[in-house]
Amino acid sequence: MARKVFEHHEAVSAVVPEAGSYRAAIAIKALQGGGAPRFHKVLDGQSFATAHEADGAAAEVLSTLARVDEDGEPVFAPT
């Protein structure tokens, strides 16, 4: 699991199980006030055979996360 910390949020690579496979995701949680993280699936259309593979892919996407906006939504660096 990879992790990035921003001023008001933290983001971690995550995995979402899906019908015999796994999807890569980014989980974002506010640093203050608690609450459950919100999962944002990434790499649309791609699934992975193992959770380990999905987490590795999510970690690569996490490296391009530029910031988290005030609503807790991911903002990625332009490609």
Q: What are the boundaries of each domain within the chain?
A: 3-76
pLDDT of amino acid 13:
98
Does 35 score more than 90 pLDDT?
A: no
For the chain, give the mean pLDDT: 94
pLDDT of amino acid 57:
98
What residue has token string 């699936």? 41
Token code pair at residue 3: 């992790």
Q: Give ∠ CA 34-36-40 in degrees, rounded to 5.
A: 130
